C-alpha cells in the first residue's frame, strides 16, 4: 500500500479499538448482526474468475491447477455465506493473542509506587481560570489541604463547559448531575478522613468509546447513538474507585477514525478553524481548553499521540496490555490501548497508576506494576534519535511524495526540544531504521477492524458512516489469508528489530510526527509512547495534516510537541525525563485564548 492510503485511513488517527461490556443498545445489537447469504449471487467460480483474482495477490498458477481449484473454491464460496449469517458477539476475542514481550527477555519487576517531584505546591489561585488549568497534582494538593472542595472544583468546570464547548464540539454527553453527586461524596469522604488517592475528587472526562453504566456510549456514530451500556468498563470502574469525578463523555471520531463524530468536527482550542486531531479528539480538546483536569483516550494508530500533538497537551500511550480494555469499543484486538491526556507529564503518571492493572476478562491483559520516580539522573539515559526526524514532520518520509503528504519543516518548538534534550545531560545516540516495508503492517489494522465490524460491511450500513472506514474494510476482504499471516510474521521481525534497538538505547526521541515510521512501528510492537509540548509554531489553518490548507492564509500560533517511545513497561522513565524537559523548556504555562 502506498502513502496516499495511509493518509486515507484518517491521517494516522484510527483510534484504539476497545471491547464493550454487555450493553443495551436501542436499535443496535451488541453482536455482529449476521447476514443471510445472497440468494441472487452466482457463486460458481470458473478459471477466468481465478485468473483475474490472481492479480489481487500477485500470484500465477498453472492452468490445470486453476481447473482443479475452480470447483473447490465454488464450494467454499457457497459455504462462507451461512458462516457470514451466524451472529457473534462484537466483543468476542480472537483465539490468537498478541503479547509484546519477547521470548527469553526479562522485564524488571516494578512495585506500584509514584514519587512526584518535591517542588513547592502553589496556594489556591483566586481566579477560577487558573484553578481550571492547574495540574492534577496541584488540584490534588488543594483538595487534600482543604483549600478547595471537590464540589467547588467540579462547579468551575461545569461553568466552563457550556460557555466554551459550543466553540469546540468536544462533549457528546455532559454528566452534570452525576458529577455533582460524586463530588459531594468525595468531599464527605475527605471530611471523614478517607482519601482514595491522588485522584480523589478530581474531575475528568472519558472518550466516548469507554462504557459507563446507564450513560450513553455512542462510539461517535449515528448508528450507535442510542447505545446505553448496562455496566462500567474496567477503566471507568478503576477511576471511580480512585475517586475521580466524571464530567462527561467526550467525542471520539466515528468508530475511532478521524476527528468528526455524528455531531460534527471537534476543534483545536489553539485554532478553532482546524480539527483537534483524532481519534481521541474530544479528550485532547477538552484538556487543552481547561474543561477538565484530565481525560482518557484510546489508541490503535496514534489516536492519543495525534490529538496531544495537535492540542499541545501530554498524551501517554501505555505498553500494550498494561491497561485493561474490557468494556470498551472493540476494533483492533492486537493494537488497542487506553491512556491519559493531561496538561503535565507527572499528571500522566498519577492517572496511569490509577488505571494500570490486570483484568481476567481481557485476554491480552498483562499483570505488571507501575513505578514512577521523578528523581531520575539523565546522565544514565541513552536517547536514540535521527537528525532527519528533526528535519520535516508529517505522515511519511521526505521525498517525491512529500508535498502530497503535507510534509513541513520541523518547527522552532521541535528544535528547541532537541536542544533541551541535549542540554539536560543524556547520552545522545544516532539511530536509523533498516529499510523494510513497514506500511504493510497497516493491513493488520484493516483486517482486524473489518472483522469486528463485518456486519456493517455485509449489510451495506458502512455507507452511512462519516469516517472513511468503508473502503478500508472492503479492501481487507481481498487480502489473502496467507499474505495476512506473512504480515504477522513480518510484525514479529519488526518486534525483534526494536528489541535489539532498545539494547542500545533507553528511549527513541523525535517530534511526534518527525518519523511516521517510528510512530507506526511502536504501535504494532506494543511499545509505550509519549507526546508533550516543546514549543510553538506559526502556521495558517491546517486540516488533519500538517501543511496549511491555504498557505497564504492568516497565520495562527499553535503548539509543537515532541515524543518519546520507550522500552516495554518503562513509562515511568519516559515521564520522569519528560518532566525534566518540561521544566527546562518552560512552555506548558501558555494557554489557548479560547477560555
Per-residue pLDDT of 78-113, as tens digits, reads 999 899 999 999 999 999 999 999 999 999 999 999
CA–CA dist 229, 212 (Å, integer): 6
Range 341-361 average pLDDT = 97
Q: What is the predicted pLDDT for the residue at 16?
A: 35
Share of the chain above pLDDT 90, in %: 88
pLDDT value at 58 more than 90 = yes
CA–CA dist 63, 67 (Å, integer): 6
Task: Sort 220 into a burial class: Cβ within 10 Å, 0-12 / 13-18 / 19+.
Answer: buried
Contacts of 582 (CB under 8 A, 6+ apart): 344, 345, 532, 533, 588
pLDDT value at 242 more than 70 = yes
Q: Residue 119 — very low, low, confident or very high, per pLDDT cuts 50/70/90?
A: confident
The CA dihedral of 412, 414, 418, 421, to the nearest 10 degrees, is 110
Task: Sort 436 into a burial class: Cβ within 10 Å, 0-12 / 13-18 / 19+.
Answer: middle
Q: What is the predicted pLDDT for the residue at 5?
A: 39
CA–CA dist 209, 215 (Å, integer): 12
The DSSP-derived string for 572-594 is HHHHHHHHHHHHHH--TT---TT
Q: Residue 7 — very low, low, confident or very high, per pLDDT cuts 50/70/90?
A: very low
CATH code: domain 3-22+98-440+481-585 is: 3.90.1300.10
The residues assigned a catalytic role are 207, 279, 303
CA–CA dist 22, 211 (Å, integer): 9
Range 482-505 average pLDDT = 98
Q: Collapse the DSSP code of 54 into the 3-class scheme (helix H, G, I; strand E, B; otherwise coil) and give the result.
A: helix
Work out the angle at residue 457's Cα, subtended by the Cα atoms of residues 456 and 461, and round it to the nearest 5 degrees.
50
Cβ–Cβ contacts within 10 Å for residue 500, how many? Answer: 10
3-class SS letters over 213-242: CCECCCCCCHHHCCEEECCCCHHHHHHHHC
Per-residue pLDDT of 246-263, as tens digits, reads 999 999 999 999 999 999
pLDDT value at 116 more than 70 = yes
| Residue entry with cell 537528525 | 387
**Among 97, 103, 569, which Cα is nearest to 362's?**
97
The answer to whether 7 and 545 are in contact (CB under 8 A) is yes
Q: Residue 34 — very low, low, confident or very high, per pLDDT cuts 50/70/90?
A: low
The DSSP-derived string for 387-435 is GGGGTEESSS-SSTTHHHHT-EEPPHHHHHHHHHHHHTTPEEEE-----
C-alpha cell at 19: 471491547
pTM of the model: 0.93
Q: What is the predicted pLDDT for the residue at 20?
A: 30
Per-residue pLDDT of 443-452, as tens digits, reads 999 999 999 9
Range 357-369 average pLDDT = 96
CA–CA dist 558, 555 (Å, integer): 9
Q: Collapse the DSSP code of 523 into the 3-class scheme (helix H, G, I; strand E, B; otherwise coil) and give the result.
A: helix
Contacts of 227 (CB under 8 A, 6+ apart): 23, 24, 25, 26, 28, 216, 217, 218, 219
Q: Is the peptide bond before 342 cis (omega within 30 degrees of 0)?
A: no
Q: What is the predicted pLDDT for the residue at 8?
A: 42
For the ranges 36-50, 120-134, 364-378, 474-488, which has the lowest average pLDDT?
36-50
Give the mean pLDDT of the chain.
92
Q: What is the predicted pLDDT for the residue at 31?
A: 60
Q: Residue 19 — very low, low, confident or very high, per pLDDT cuts 50/70/90?
A: very low
Contacts of 388 (CB under 8 A, 6+ apart): 398, 515
Q: Residue 404 — very low, low, confident or very high, per pLDDT cuts 50/70/90?
A: very low
Q: What is the predicted pLDDT for the residue at 17?
A: 32
Q: What is the predicted pLDDT for the residue at 401?
A: 41
Amino acid at each position: 500500500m502506498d502513502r496516499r492510503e495511509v493518509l486515507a485511513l484518517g491521517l494516522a488517527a484510527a483510534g484504539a479499538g476497545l471491547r464493550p461490556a454487555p450493553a443495551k443498545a436501542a436499535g443496535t445489537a451488541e453482536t455482529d448482526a449476521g447476514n443471510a447469504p445472497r440468494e441472487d449471487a452466482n457463486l460458481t467460480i470458473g478459471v477466468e474468475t481465478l485468473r483475474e483474482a490472481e492479480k489481487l495477490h500477485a500470484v500465477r498458477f498453472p492452468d490445470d491447477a486453476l481447473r482443479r481449484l475452480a470447483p473447490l473454491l465454488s464450494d467454499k464460496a457457497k459455504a462462507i455465506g451461512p458462516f457470514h449469517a451466524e451472529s457473534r458477539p462484537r466483543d468476542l476475542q480472537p483465539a490468537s493473542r498478541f503479547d509484546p514481550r519477547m521470548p527469553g527477555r526479562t522485564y524488571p519487576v516494578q512495585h506500584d509506587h509514584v514519587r512526584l517531584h518535591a517542588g513547592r505546591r502553589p496556594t489556591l489561585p483566586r481566579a477560577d481560570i487558573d484553578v481550571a488549568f492547574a495540574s492534577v497534582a496541584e488540584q490534588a494538593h488543594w483538595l487534600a489541604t482543604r483549600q478547595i472542595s471537590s464540589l467547588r472544583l467540579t462547579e468551575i468546570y461545569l461553568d466552563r463547559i457550556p460557555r466554551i464547548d459550543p466553540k469546540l464540539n468536544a462533549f457528546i454527553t455532559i454528566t452534570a448531575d452525576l458529577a455533582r453527586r460524586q463530588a459531594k461524596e468525595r468531599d464527605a469522604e475527605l471530611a471523614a478522613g478517607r482519601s482514595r488517592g491522588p485522584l480523589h475528587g478530581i474531575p475528568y472526562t472519558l472518550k466516548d468509546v469507554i462504557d459507563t453504566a446507564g450513560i450513553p456510549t455512542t462510539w461517535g456514530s449515528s448508528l450507535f447513538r442510542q447505545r446505553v451500556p448496562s455496566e462500567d468498563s474496567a477503566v471507568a470502574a478503576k477511576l471511580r474507585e480512585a475517586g475521580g469525578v466524571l464530567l462527561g463523555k467526550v467525542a471520539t471520531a466515528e468508530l475511532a477514525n478521524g476527528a468528526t463524530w455524528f455531531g460534527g468536527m471537534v476543534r483545536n482550542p489553539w485554532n478553532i478553524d482546524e480539527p483537534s486531531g483524532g481519534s481521541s479528539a474530544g479528550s485532547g480538546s477538552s484538556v487543552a481548553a481547561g474543561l477538565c483536569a484530565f481525560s482518557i483516550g484510546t489508541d490503535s494508530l496514534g489516536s492519543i499521540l495525534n490529538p496531544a500533538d495537535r492540542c499541545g497537551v501530554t498524551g501517554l500511550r501505555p505498553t500494550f496490555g498494561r491497561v485493561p480494555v474490557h468494556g470498551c469499543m472493540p476494533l483492533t484486538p492486537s493494537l488497542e490501548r487506553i491512556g491519559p491526556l493531561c496538561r503535565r507529564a507527572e499528571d500522566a503518571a498519577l492517572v496511569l497508576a490509577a488505571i494500570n492493572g490486570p483484568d481476567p476478562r481481557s485476554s491480552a491483559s498483562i499483570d505488571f506494576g507501575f513505578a514512577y520516580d521523578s528523581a531520575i539522573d539523565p546522565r544514565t539515559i541513552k536517547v536514540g534519535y535521527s537528525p532527519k526526524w528533526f528535519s520535516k514532520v508529517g505522515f511519511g518520509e521526505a521525498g517525491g511524495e512529500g508535498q502530497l503528504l503535507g510534509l513541513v519543516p520541523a518547527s522552532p518548538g521541535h528544535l528547541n526540544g532537541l536542544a533541551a534534550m541535549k542540554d539536560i545531560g543524556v547520552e545522545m545516540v544516532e539511530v536509523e531504521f533498516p529499510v523494510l516495508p513497514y506500511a504493510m503492517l497497516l493491513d493488520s489494522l484493516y483486517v482486524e477492524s473489518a472483522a469486528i465490524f463485518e456486519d456493517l460491511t455485509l449489510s451495506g450500513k458502512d455507507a452511512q458512516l462519516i469516517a472513511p472506514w468503508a473502503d478500508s474494510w472492503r479492501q481487507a476482504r481481498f487480502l489473502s489469508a496467507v499474505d495476512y499471516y506473512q504480515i504477522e510474521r513480518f510484525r514479529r521481525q519488526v518486534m525483534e528489530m526494536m528489541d535489539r534497538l532498545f539494547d542500545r538505547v533507553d528511549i527513541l526521541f523525535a517530534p511526534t510526527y518527525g518519523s511516521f515510521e517510528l510512530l507506526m512501528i511502536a504501535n504494532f510492537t506494543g511499545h509505550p509512547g509519549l507526546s508533550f509540548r516543546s514549543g510553538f509554531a506559526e502556521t495558517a489553518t491546517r486540516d488533519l495534516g500538517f501543511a496549511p490548507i491555504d498557505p497564504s492564509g492568516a497565520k495562527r500560533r499553535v503548539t509543537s510537541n515532541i515524543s518519546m517511545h520507550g522500552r516495554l513497561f518503562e513509562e515511568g522513565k519516559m515521564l520522569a525525563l519528560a518532566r525534566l524537559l518540561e521544566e527546562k523548556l518552560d512552555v506548558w504555562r501558555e494557554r489557548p485564548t479560547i477560555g
